[in-house]
Structure 1
């Protein structure tokens, strides 16, 4: 039996807890499968449908939510369903299944239907849908004009310059007022009345509702979650331990950190591996040399290439100080590099195509939209699109940035702790000095929940060590930029004998960032016949997978310098 904490909107302390059982999760409707919307799903083998569920599982009189669901049929003899969440929070399960059907069927053995859905707050098919707090991108841009929300934070030398610290801290009262006002805009937007019904606990209950309809209210629930989807998974297995079937959690969010801290406080700890992954990029570039990496000169080592990157950041910093409307700020460059930490498969194209263009833009030799390849990536660099890059989509009717990520993180957050924006900025300064020199100062990361006025009516805060009906599989890369290995070790330790942890000797976000036949075989054996490998098993990336010409993951890991970047 699981326990929830209930807090009505704006309440600053949890109300009483009450027992809650899986049997209480009833949708009261069925799914009518049909063809998917071809503007979103181009694979005609996939089926789509809707399921109505309670907005509030403890108060069915509040009203109904509607979940948009997608299904890929099993390729072999069907044994049930595997429910899948791709992460975010805010990523659309419908789009990801459309784009990755074959991979999902492969790693689950082809004997389950793959079922995913757009959770509450995601997209325009699920209701409540995407959370918008501004009516247009123009309104958003005007609101934040002249602030670090659009330019990023300017700093050099790992925030060791007292002048940089002073400039940032002087902006704290302005940015706190802005964030508090945004919270009120969200509360009074068309999404506002639904904000207290968005969050991970509701998503878990929605998944149980879907499972009850598809596989029966007593059937084990099988689940594959990646990134934020692992938080859904860790809540699920502890909220409904008796329903746990075969569960894979890949790229783990630390459930204890998210249960006990405001989300903004967790990001420094989540970046503990980020600079090492940046060093891996530099190492691969140096190993392949200028013929395979345009960022390298003949004879360069990783530290030489880093020195060039730091010089570029300093040039952009100096230019921004002289003219705040420069086409590329140091914050833009850091944001571009940060995106590369997730997917090493893109490193070669980045250093050979986009990075040289960034250099030309900073040096004033090219406009920011010089080529189609760069324009595609520049959505992540253009200040007006910065938040869009971080918190996902716009809709056809509203081109302003989505606040779904904020809505979900903050719905789940502990109650406001009196954190000020000055506290936030001091945390950023500390993280830049002590955790991630390259990425500690990224801004915005819009999950500073002291300034968000709503918490969900249902939040799960543990325990996270329940006895499970079946053992689960936890997977992690050695080096992950946002869900580091220690988080996976924490969850595995909490679950003890009910979890097996496997590690992939690679870098990037989740184990699917690099191909590994070893990891695939472990997943397939577990999903098809329940066989679990030994706890602590280490998988290597396939040797024929080259990140740079002639250089694979093992080559890079073996040659990384011991010196800190």
Structure 2
């Protein structure tokens, strides 16, 4: 299964992920015998003690178990599955635009299904979400259906539901392709007031484009509403409980569902976990540190290789990359496409390669070309991150990403002065990328809709076991986030992969795959604190 790209509370860096990394099989250990990771102390379950939530952060309260009468018509729809996309079936169904006012209008959502192949015990449906926010679950499920364990495919109907505002489900829309090109190329490390003004203008143009093209939908694409939509679909496919596999932002969506409907949680796997207790500043800063960890791993590896274009030590690799970015900042590189490689695009291309080890050789080559004056390979990496199409168009991914993030949490920063004040903390957490990521977080300051969500913990009291998978050097969802989420959940089981890359399940770790597959098939969750070593 290909890996997801992350949740990104970042302005420039959205979801959707690189293809699966070819990791070596890992060994497994479990229970109290598990050794601590990253030098942290372990609790009585053999897992590292989870960071405490910030003062004032309250738990997500469950919804009443009974379906409100005003929602009865949504829970009683009949699904009409029809052939689509080859061997799949697709359907649409209605949900309220606003769950607080169900009579105020509907949204149409799209789901796709791959019927179980049979030959084993039927286990109902397995809902799959790849993350983002903004990644199409329909497209991801269709790819994952080819690579999941045959026993999983035999026992479950696999379902991908594009969340509200995403893909085929009443999608958010913001900017045309040429304006997105300008947006992604805007300098995100402003050196003077003119560059600050240009960055603010780009953020405001993006926000205004979303307001014009998406209207009232922008106020109703939050994660709580998307989780409530999943419960409607659960009922419509006839499942008493929701079986769920979520990656990256999909872990936040799944944890939200568990918090709202703990008694309806079936077998739930949350891989590459987000920490719902973090506000936007802490989340962005933590992610900056995650990418710094991934960069350090890349730099150490690069320095040992003959084809490394950046030097022969970890420190020299970092210095030379910074010097290259500074050079590109003043003199963007030609790419042969009419779109010069700016520093912003070069940074995005570099960060794209942090998601999986198999992209590291491509990054080494691209940086070597850039040092020789050709920016085309780094631009290609950046374009693959944004999923820019060959005709110059962009998918809904980035638009939905910003819309959901800006609704789920209040803005990280109110204005450029607040960003500038926070830059030292970001640079302390991430010397290579901290400044970029601090400025990336400015976009929600100009969002046309006020945030409806806030940082919270998720307990999901009374649910069955929920497996939380964390990778120790995950760039996009740092390992501490998985520890924190597993610690918040009353029934959380932390499963650790000692390795690189974003997410772990389906990325050729026999240990992780065996633990997750055993749980999905037999219901036996791995012991809390189980660790898989590279």
Aligned mate of 2:440, from 442, 445, 450: 445
Q: CA deviation at 1:225?
A: 0.6
Aligned residues of 1:69 and 1:117 also touching (Cα < 8 A): yes
Corresponding position of 2:174: 133
Q: CA deviation at 1:285?
A: 2.8
Corresponding position of 2:532: 539
Corresponding position of 2:57: none
Corresponding position of 1:502: 495
Residues matched between the structures, number: 462
Corresponding position of 2:465: 471
Residue-by-residue CA offset, 1:283-336 (whole Å, 9 max, x unaligned): 22334x31xx35377xx3434444443443343345469xxx993344333222
Distance in 2, matches of 1:447 and 1:256, equals 20
5+ residue gaps in structure 1? 1-16, 156-163, 542-565
Aligned residues of 1:84 and 1:223 also touching (Cα < 8 A): yes
Aligned residues of 1:237 and 1:244 also touching (Cα < 8 A): yes
Aligned residues of 2:134 and 2:399 also touching (Cα < 8 A): no
Aligned mate of 2:266, from 220, 230, 245: 245
Corresponding position of 1:150: 185
Aligned residues of 1:198 and 1:408 also touching (Cα < 8 A): yes
1:409 aligns with 2:405: yes
Aligned residues of 2:289 and 2:429 also touching (Cα < 8 A): yes
Residue-by-residue CA offset, 1:403-430 (whole Å, 9 max, x unaligned): 211111112224x688222212332453
1:226 aligns with 2:247: yes
Aligned residues of 2:189 and 2:436 also touching (Cα < 8 A): no
Q: Mapping of 1:427-442 within 5 angstroms?
A: 427-431=422-426, 433-442=427-436
Distance in 2, matches of 1:236 and 1:117, equals 14
Q: CA deviation at 1:170?
A: 6.1
Distance in 2, matches of 1:101 and 1:399, equals 25
Aligned mate of 2:349, from 325, 333, 336: 336
Residue-by-residue CA offset, 1:217-255 (whole Å, 9 max, x unaligned): xx1111111000011011111111111111000111110
1:120 aligns with 2:141: no
Distance in 2, matches of 1:67 and 1:396, equals 27
1:275 aligns with 2:292: yes
| Secondary structure, aligned partner of 2:289 | coil
Aligned mate of 1:62, from 90, 93, 104: 104
Aligned mate of 2:135, from 82, 91, 111: 91
| Secondary structure, aligned partner of 2:237 | helix
Q: CA deviation at 1:477?
A: 0.3
Aligned mate of 1:295, from 305, 309, 314: 309
Residue-by-residue CA offset, 1:474-502 (whole Å, 9 max, x unaligned): 00101111211111111111124x11101
| Secondary structure, aligned partner of 1:437 | coil
5+ residue gaps in structure 2? 1-60
Q: 1:470 to 1:329 in 2, by over 3 A?
A: same
1:79 aligns with 2:123: yes
Aligned residues of 1:410 and 1:447 also touching (Cα < 8 A): no
Aligned residues of 2:126 and 2:244 also touching (Cα < 8 A): yes
Aligned mate of 2:449, from 442, 448, 454: 454
Q: 1:397 to 1:517 in 2, by over 3 A?
A: closer
Aligned residues of 1:78 and 1:111 also touching (Cα < 8 A): yes
Q: 1:428 to 1:380 in 2, by over 3 A?
A: farther
Q: 1:501 to 1:449 in 2, by over 3 A?
A: same
Distance in 2, matches of 1:447 and 1:407, equals 14
Corresponding position of 2:145: 101
Residue-by-residue CA offset, 1:360-385 (whole Å, 9 max, x unaligned): 22xxxx4x44xxxx3xx62454xxx6
Corresponding position of 1:49: 91
Distance in 2, matches of 1:141 and 1:520, equals 39
1:194 aligns with 2:238: no
Aligned residues of 1:264 and 1:448 also touching (Cα < 8 A): no
Q: 1:232 to 1:393 in 2, by over 3 A?
A: farther
Aligned residues of 2:407 and 2:450 also touching (Cα < 8 A): yes
Aligned residues of 1:50 and 1:67 also touching (Cα < 8 A): yes
Distance in 1, matches of 2:460 and 2:77, equals 30
Q: 1:241 to 1:326 in 2, by over 3 A?
A: closer
| Secondary structure, aligned partner of 2:123 | coil
Corresponding position of 1:358: 370
Corresponding position of 1:111: 155
Aligned residues of 1:343 and 1:513 also touching (Cα < 8 A): no
Aligned mate of 1:179, from 172, 181, 203: 203
1:284 aligns with 2:301: yes
Aligned residues of 1:107 and 1:523 also touching (Cα < 8 A): no
Corresponding position of 1:424: 419
| Secondary structure, aligned partner of 1:114 | strand
Q: CA RMSD in A?
A: 3.2
